[in-house]
Amino acid sequence: YEIYLNGMTGAVPRLPTDLTRLEELTEQRLGPGPVGYVAGSAGNGSTARANREALDRRRIVPRMLRDVHERDLSVEVLGHRLPAPLALAPVGVLSIMHPEGESAAARAAAARGVPYILSSASSTPMEQVAKEMGDGQRWFQLYWAKDRDVTKSFLDRAKASGFTALVVTLDTPLLAWRPRDLDQAYLPFLHGVGTANYFSDPAFLAGLAKPVHEDPNAAVMHFVGMFADPAKTWPDLAFLRENWDGPIVLKGILHPDDARRAADAGMDGVVVSNHGGRQVAGSVAAADALPRVVEAVGDRLTVLFDSGIRTGDDIFKALALGAEAVLVGRPYAYGLGLDGQAGVDHVIRCLLAELDLTLALSGHAGPGTLTPDDLIEETA
């Protein structure tokens, strides 16, 4: 009720509570370059649109008279109790949105008890972000470098910095065909802002003939060559399992057979995700892939979900389809662009307040009672 009560006194939120307006506002504030990179998606945008359509097509069937006066959004994920089924997705190069970039986003997450997943392509070294989070829950997202020494060095640094879970992104061994980046020649990685996490890595730096400041172009090319590796196959996961004691979650899983292979390889979870529609144009919508993955491995693995979450009712739907928690990407990046840490906090609070109300008004006192029967799927 806080926002309604504030309204009575004339205090309106600094940012809109309709989070779908944030992209346009951020573009007005920061211009088309940075927003083009964040909003952009693969090909003609069909996967990003399909992500939305698959969520919109599913409709909630509310239940009545079920005593929802006391509610609890908390869930158990990967051995930790989270205050709500939400984490901030790994989003690289956040300094294009705000000078405090990942640090501001991570502080906002830590203050609400929401896990923050730090990108390998962070514009701030992981040690610094970790320090700013205090005892906030942090997971590390790995872009799995070509060089084992660099991968090992990243894992060791993440461990030493208190990152608990490892999120290995498998859907980006190459950057996709993204027309908005190609047409604007705006790839922040190549302009240096996404490389700080690499440029602070001793194993990465050891591979350079000259210090970064003496030959910055060679350093960037080394980064591009190191970033990820399209030659990897399933048996390579053994290396990560041997070098990471905590939970490992594979991000970018869409096929049930891949989910089964993840379980067979000793992984702890998957994120059903198509990278927010940024990788494979024409891909299955993430919400359409989710039920098949849950059916295949729901009893063996933690199943998380992202791609297209914009509202509390979207979170409700993903949970009803069997996800244990969701990640959100672009909305918090825009919140960061508009108002730094406070903007990210606004996005987290709006999503959770709307989820709480959607659950209550649909007859659920918490996520635990949701099942696929709480949705119907509209047919065209």
Which residues form the catalytic set?
A: 275
**Nearer CB in complex with ligand FNR: 318/359:** 318
**Nearer CB in complex with ligand FNR: 42/91:** 91
Letter for the amino acid at 68?
V
- Listed ranges 55-63, 127-135, 178-186, 304-312: which one lies at the site for ligand FNR (CB under 6 A): 304-312
How many Cα atoms occupy the beta-carbon half-sphere of 131 within 13 Å? 6
DSSP letters spanning 287-326: HHHHHHHHHHHTTTSEEEE-SS--SHHHHHHHHHTT-SEE
- Cβ-contact 367, 359 below 8 angstroms: yes
**Nearer CB in complex with ligand FNR: 184/369:** 184
Distance (Å, whole) CA 333 – CA 316: 22
Q: Which residues of 42-70 are buried (b: 16+ CB within 10 A; e: fewer)?
A: bbebbbbebbbbbbebbebeeeeeeebee
Which one of 297, 309, 319, 350 is in contact with ligand FNR (CB under 6 A)? 309
Provide the mask over 163-192, with x wherever binding to ligand FNR is found by CB under 6 A and - wherever it is not: ------x-----------------------
- The verdict on 26 binding ligand FNR (CB under 6 A) reads no
Which one of 89, 133, 250, 280 is in contact with ligand FNR (CB under 6 A)? 89
Return the DSSP state at 223.
H
Provide the mask over 246-285, with x wherever binding to ligand FNR is found by CB under 6 A and - wherever it is not: -----x---------------------x-xx-x-------
Site for ligand FNR in 332-351 (CB under 6 A): 333
**Nearer CB in complex with ligand FNR: 21/210:** 21
Distance (Å, whole) CA 263 – CA 317: 25
Provide the mask over 96-135, with x wherever binding to ligand FNR is found by CB under 6 A and - wherever it is not: -----------------------x-x--------------
**Nearer CB in complex with ligand FNR: 26/119:** 119
Residues in the chain: 380
- The verdict on 91 binding ligand FNR (CB under 6 A) reads yes
Which residue bears the tokens 């996961």? 237
Closest distance of CB 286 from ligand FNR, Å: 8
Burial class (CB in 10 A: 0-12, 13-18, 19+), 233: exposed
- Cβ-contact 286, 307 below 8 angstroms: yes
Residues contributing to the site for ligand FNR (CB under 6 A):
37-38, 89-92, 119, 121, 141, 169, 251, 273, 275-276, 278, 306-309, 328-330, 333
